Structure 1
Amino acid sequence: MYEYFPGNYRWSFAVHNTLRCGGQMGEIDRALRPLLEADSPSAADWGEAWAGAGDEQSRLGEADLARGFEISAGERFLRSSVYYIAAERQMPHGDRRSEIYQLSLETFQRGVKLAGLPWERVEIDSPDGILPAMFLPADGPGPHPTMIFFDGFDITKEIMSLTVRDSLKRRGISCLVVDSPGVGEPLRLRNVPSRPDYEVPAGAFIDYLETRDDVDPDRIGVMGISLGGYYAPRAAAFEPRIKCVVAWGAILDWGATWQKRWATRSTEVSVPLDQLMWVLQKDTMEEALERVKEWTLVDVLPRITQPALVMHGENDRQIPLDDAYKAFELISSTDKELKIFTLADGGAEHCHSDEPAGAINYVSDWAAEKLRS
């Protein structure tokens, strides 16, 4: 993986994530070069650098809008949202972080509207309260097959909508990109923690999709990226209405993974380690490490009988490749596939952020094969 910040995995990985959802290298370099040249840049410095990139694109978007260039302005606002969320994900908790998150939401919605994207914000009733999502429709009246797309540990529906964009749509599949317990708006605005029994929010999402005339209720799949590689398989194991499942980055025993991370104080994690306390809404790391033991798929994966795809990077430094092999072997489905993205072919890092295009197309082709047949 190219490291914009040599020796700093976390910040370099974040640069790749931003490129994946539409960031432009020149804009990024203009914002981050002062950090690269500074002696000891802090997390606060990081946040302000990215926020500056978001401010710049918002200002330029306003200039485009003043000239009547709505689509150009919309694309600017979408990139502004990407840069604001890149800032927020690494910043210290506090009012400034909350302010920047709000800016990311506002610029995203404005960008979607001005750019003419046919995406619909929806709010779904669940046992955890309202769960917001973006519905990315396939073309035509339908009913269409639909994939539910779960975020990971530190990402949001805005980031993932801009990652998948029209990849599924072009294959005749709609996508419901969700902020579920422990991520996005539920975590940031209402302090809703993650939960191990993710079949519960998954069930609420399916209940909602079944009310839509443009969704085929007999062709609903689920996929999840990063920690979503726990959420999606857990949901599929206990929710029979799910017809296929993708772990976009394998998870086997997330609790065991966290014990190792904390013991070594790993720096090869995409956000600061104390995010675990926030996601689980625990006051101490000891409490969080005890709670996270419940996030294991060892006894769950054998329950999966639907078509299943596990994708993993050969050089994933956050989740060991061996976990992907073990997870795949435990799945009971007779229609299952393990796709390893290698160093030679690209996309070998965690969730293929180093070269994402191949993975995005691969998962979209696989979903089309399973849901449109």
Structure 2
Amino acid sequence: MFTYFPNNYMWSSAVMLSIMADGQLGQIDRWLAPLREAEPDTESWTKAWDGAAAQQEELAEEDVRRGFRRSASARYLRASTYYLTGERQTPPSPAKTRSYQCALTAFAKAVEHMPRSLERVEIDSPDGILPGYLIPARAHGRAPVVIFYNGFDVTKELLYGIIREEFADRGIACLVIDTPGTGEPLRLRGVPSRPDYEVPTSAIVDHLVTRPDIDPARIGLLGISLGGYYAPRGASFEHRIKACVAWGGVWDYGAVWQRRWATRSTTTSVPFWQLPWVMGTETMEQALERVKQWTLRDALPHLTQPLLIVHGEHDGAIPLEDARKAFQAAGSTDKELRVFTVAEGGSEHCNADDPDPARQLIADWFADHL
């Protein structure tokens, strides 16, 4: 992986995720270069990303004044990505809330100026409203759709930056959505994650099958990072899902966190405070106990739909062996484990070091299976 911060895996992986979501290295470097040789400091990190985002907003406003709406949309989208990249590593605080609110505002402006506008949807669920954006298919009539789930610390806005029009160009709609423990539900309403992700999955499917623009018989489910738990778990018990992809294989997420905490791992992409935050507990000890429920051991035998697991050979966050265990346990007769190697690229977590081949593979696979 390109280590922008040579001695800081967490910050380097954040830079790679930002680029994966269409961030530009030159823009990032203008603001982060002073941090490369300094001692890690969260306040400086947040301010640097906020600065990079604010600069893109200013340039977007100039584009709007000149009538360059498409250029403005791209600038606002990157501003949202930069705000969120800083916010992900910022502990709960007024600074974190400000960055997140600025990200939502910038993304809304990006949508306003897009040539093909996204539709914001709000879906009723047992956990309250689940907000998302529907990326329409470039197709006539009822289209298949892929639901795209966040990972441990991602948001629907970053998901859009990662996938953009890849599904739409193949005649497939895509719903990027915040669910329990992610995005708006966590940040604005304090809704933690839950192990039984078939519950939000069923609520989302209930909504999609009522839409006149969606084919209810062709609904797929994709999850990235911890979404590699959320999506297979949802598909295991919600069989209106017709195909499932784990962009990062997960087997026993509780065991992963036990190892991280016991060794005080320096190769995690998130700070340790995030586990109690996402789990909805007051202490790390409570969070480590709760996260033991996040295992696919008993769920995957129930997953009989086509399944693709995409993993990196050198994934430092989730061991490749976990992806292999998930693959073996899945009940599907149509299943594939695609491992990207160091030699070909894309060998890191969620292929962030070279993401486009994995992104294209996933979109093509869904086009074949929906």
Shift of 1:162: 1.2
Q: Secondary structure at the match of 1:246?
A: strand
Shift of 1:321: 0.6
Identity %: 56
Paired residues, number: 370
Shift of 1:141: 3.3
Structure 1 CA distance for aligned equivalents of residues 355 and 209 of structure 2? 31
Shift of 1:251: 0.4
Does 1:263 pair with 2:262?
yes
1:149-190, Cα deviation, whole Å (9 max, x unpaired): 100001000001111101111111111111000000000000
Structure 2 CA distance for aligned equivalents of residues 115 and 145 of structure 1? 22
- Residue aligning to 1:234: 233
- Residue aligning to 1:94: 93
Structure 1 CA distance for aligned equivalents of residues 170 and 71 of structure 2? 26
Tell me how large the CA RMSD over aligned residues is.
Answer: 0.8
Shift of 1:37: 3.3
Does 1:218 pair with 2:222?
no
Shift of 1:43: 1.2
- Residue aligning to 1:294: 293
1:213-269, Cα deviation, whole Å (9 max, x unpaired): 110000101010000000000011101111011111000000111111110111211
- Residue aligning to 1:137: 136
Shift of 1:91: 1.1
Q: Secondary structure at the match of 2:113?
A: helix
- Residue aligning to 2:208: 209
Question: Is the 8 Å Cα contact of residues 44 and 92 (structure 1) preserved in structure 2?
Answer: no
Q: Secondary structure at the match of 1:115?
A: coil
Q: Secondary structure at the match of 2:169?
A: helix
- Residue aligning to 1:27: 27
Shift of 1:7: 2.0
Does 1:333 pair with 2:300?
no
Shift of 1:140: 3.1
- Residue aligning to 1:170: 169
1:89-114, Cα deviation, whole Å (9 max, x unpaired): 11132111101100000101101221
What are the equivalent positions in structure 2 for 1:1-373 lying under 5 Å apart? 1-38=1-38, 40-371=39-370
1:185-224, Cα deviation, whole Å (9 max, x unpaired): 0000000000000000000110110111110000101010
Question: Is the 8 Å Cα contact of residues 138 and 144 (structure 1) preserved in structure 2?
Answer: yes
1:314-350, Cα deviation, whole Å (9 max, x unpaired): 0000000111111101111110001000001110000
For normalisation by structure 1, the TM-score amounts to 0.98
Question: Is the 8 Å Cα contact of residues 72 and 115 (structure 1) preserved in structure 2?
Answer: no
Q: Aligned partner of 2:29: which letter?
A: D
Structure 2 CA distance for aligned equivalents of residues 37 and 66 of structure 1? 39
Q: Aligned partner of 2:9: which letter?
A: Y
Q: Aligned partner of 1:308: which letter?
A: L
Structure 2 CA distance for aligned equivalents of residues 325 and 83 of structure 1? 34
Structure 2 CA distance for aligned equivalents of residues 205 and 71 of structure 1? 31
Structure 2 unmatched ranges of 5 or more: none
Question: Is the 8 Å Cα contact of residues 152 and 226 (structure 2) preserved in structure 1?
Answer: yes
Q: Secondary structure at the match of 1:337?
A: strand
Structure 2 CA distance for aligned equivalents of residues 344 and 241 of structure 1? 38
1:283-336, Cα deviation, whole Å (9 max, x unpaired): 000000110011100111111110000110000000001111111011111100
Q: Aligned partner of 1:98: which letter?
A: T
Question: Is the 8 Å Cα contact of residues 146 and 174 (structure 1) preserved in structure 2?
Answer: yes
Q: Aligned partner of 1:103: which letter?
A: C
Structure 2 CA distance for aligned equivalents of residues 8 and 50 of structure 1? 16
Structure 2 CA distance for aligned equivalents of residues 120 and 44 of structure 1? 35
Structure 2 CA distance for aligned equivalents of residues 216 and 199 of structure 1? 20
Question: Is the 8 Å Cα contact of residues 53 and 82 (structure 2) preserved in structure 1?
Answer: yes
Structure 1 unmatched ranges of 5 or more: none
Q: Aligned partner of 1:284: which letter?
A: T
Question: Is the 8 Å Cα contact of residues 74 and 115 (structure 1) preserved in structure 2?
Answer: yes
Structure 2 CA distance for aligned equivalents of residues 194 and 364 of structure 1? 27
Structure 1 CA distance for aligned equivalents of residues 305 and 67 of structure 2? 49
Question: Is the 8 Å Cα contact of residues 220 and 243 (structure 1) preserved in structure 2?
Answer: yes
Q: Secondary structure at the match of 1:126?
A: coil
Shift of 1:70: 1.6
Structure 1 CA distance for aligned equivalents of residues 239 and 277 of structure 2? 31
Structure 2 CA distance for aligned equivalents of residues 146 and 140 of structure 1? 12
Question: Is the 8 Å Cα contact of residues 138 and 170 (structure 2) preserved in structure 1?
Answer: no
Shift of 1:115: 2.6
Structure 1 CA distance for aligned equivalents of residues 2 and 95 of structure 2? 30
Q: Aligned partner of 2:203: which letter?
A: A
Structure 2 CA distance for aligned equivalents of residues 165 and 330 of structure 1? 32
Question: Is the 8 Å Cα contact of residues 302 and 330 (structure 1) preserved in structure 2?
Answer: yes
Q: Aligned partner of 1:136: which letter?
A: I
Structure 1 CA distance for aligned equivalents of residues 337 and 139 of structure 2? 33
Question: Is the 8 Å Cα contact of residues 146 and 221 (structure 2) preserved in structure 1?
Answer: yes
Structure 1 CA distance for aligned equivalents of residues 218 and 68 of structure 2? 39
